[in-house]
């Protein structure tokens, strides 16, 4: 019993220490952004590596998500003879929830794992220590450009996923299932307001920051050898996805409360 209790206490202490170290990384990241932001060339390079190459994955995810929404909603709405409101369901679902969340999960799997593996390899091969020896701050040099690129690109990729998802829903709903084209777009515009779009974009900003900070933290704290890098990469991917899903719940509560306060 004593050994088990000791192990639990050690794990709890390690978790608290990790949370503190992560919070310190986040604070330092914001500090360097305002104190000495990186050059635009470095940011654009990261934006290309992390964002442009993610477009095929995001587009594929968005299109088929919209198609699935149209198929499933048509099956249910046709029983009530209200299948013409499919456009509203597809649009609102993509813009407020599925677009930001699924895009963030895809980015966590693609660019988050890549960042964790890259920084973990640099840590294991002592390149991070070399930066410190040369007088450079690893957070300023390695984390800040990736953070800025993720925060800027996550909303753009989310809007792209929203757009192609709505088009995918239109293709299936109108062209395949025979929903009236006029009512599809009429209800899509009628039920979707500016606040829904803003809520999705705000979520994307937050998710982009979560992806960059967690994955960079895991990479910079990777264990020794190839096994340590692999564990850091896996841990970064799983933890990022979990935090995205949990934070989406709280963001939904916050955005809904703000809507009730300011828009009604």
Residues in the chain: 264
Q: What is the pLDDT of residue 263?
A: 67
Residue 7 has pLDDT above 80, yes or no: no
Residue 171 has pLDDT above 90, yes or no: yes
Name the more confident of 261 and 109.
Answer: 109
Question: Mean pLDDT across the stretch 162-171?
Answer: 95
C-alpha span between 183 and 202 (Å, rounded): 29
Tokens of 232: 């850091």
C-alpha span between 199 and 131 (Å, rounded): 39
Report the first-to-last Cα separation within the chain, whole angstroms.
Answer: 56
Name the more confident of 57 and 126.
Answer: 57
Q: What is the pLDDT of residue 51?
A: 79
User: What is the pLDDT confidence band of residue 205, given thresholds at 50, 70 and 90?
Assistant: very high
Q: What is the pLDDT of residue 6?
A: 65
Q: What is the pLDDT of residue 228?
A: 86
CA distances from 190 to 177, 193, 237 (A): 21, 8, 38
Q: What is the pLDDT of residue 95?
A: 94
C-alpha span between 101 and 195 (Å, rounded): 17
Residue 8 has pLDDT above 80, yes or no: no
Q: What is the pLDDT of residue 224?
A: 81
User: What is the pLDDT confidence band of residue 156, given thresholds at 50, 70 and 90?
Assistant: very high
Residue 4 has pLDDT above 70, yes or no: no
Residue 106 has pLDDT above 90, yes or no: yes
Name the more confident of 64 and 258.
Answer: 64
Question: Mean pLDDT across the stretch 217-239?
Answer: 88
CB 105 within 8 A of CB 244: yes
Q: SS3 for 179?
A: coil
- Packing angle between helix 55-80 and helix 86-93, nearest 10 degrees? 140
Buried b / exposed e across 197-209, counting CB within 10 Å, b at 16+? bebbbbbbbbbbb
Task: Count Cα neighbours of 75 within 13 Å in the Cβ-side half-sphere.
Answer: 5
Question: Mean pLDDT across the stretch 210-221?
Answer: 92
**DSSP code of 109?**
I
Q: What is the pLDDT of residue 19?
A: 86
Tokens of 167: 């088009």
Q: What is the pLDDT of residue 226?
A: 80
Where is 22: in which H helix or E strand?
helix 2-35
Percent of the chain having pLDDT more than 70?
Answer: 97
Q: What is the pLDDT of residue 260?
A: 77
User: What is the pLDDT confidence band of residue 264, given thresholds at 50, 70 and 90?
Assistant: low
Q: What is the pLDDT of residue 3?
A: 55
């Amino acid at each position: 019993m004593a050994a088990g209790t000791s192990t639990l206490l050690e794990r709890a202490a390690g978790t608290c220490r990790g949370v503190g170290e992560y919070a310190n990384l986040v604070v330092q990241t914001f500090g360097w952004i305002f104190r000495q932001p990186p050059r635009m060339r470095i940011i654009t390079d990261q934006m290309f590596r992390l964002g442009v190459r993610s477009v095929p994955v995001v587009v594929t995810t968005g299109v088929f998500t919209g198609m699935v929404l149209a198929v499933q909603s048509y099956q249910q709405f046709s029983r009530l003879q209200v299948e013409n409101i499919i456009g509203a369901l597809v649009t609102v679902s993509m813009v407020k929830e599925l677009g930001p969340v699924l895009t963030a999960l895809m980015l966590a799997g693609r660019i988050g794992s890549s960042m964790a593996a890259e920084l973990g390899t640099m840590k294991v091969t002592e390149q991070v220590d070399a930066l410190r020896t040369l007088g450079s701050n690893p957070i300023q040099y390695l984390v800040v450009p990736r953070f800025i690129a993720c925060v800027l690109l996550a909303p753009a990729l989310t809007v792209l996923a929203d757009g192609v998802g709505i088009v995918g829903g239109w293709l299936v709903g109108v062209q395949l299932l025979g929903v009236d084209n006029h009512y599809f777009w009429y209800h899509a515009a009628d039920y979707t307001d500016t606040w829904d779009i803003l809520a999705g974009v705000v979520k994307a900003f937050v998710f982009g920051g979560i992806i960059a900070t967690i994955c960079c933290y895991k990479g910079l704290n990777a264990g020794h050898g190839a096994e340590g890098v692999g564990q850091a990469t896996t841990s970064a991917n799983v933890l990022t996805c979990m935090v995205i899903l949990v934070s989406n719940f709280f963001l939904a509560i916050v955005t809904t409360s703000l809507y009730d306060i300011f828009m009604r």
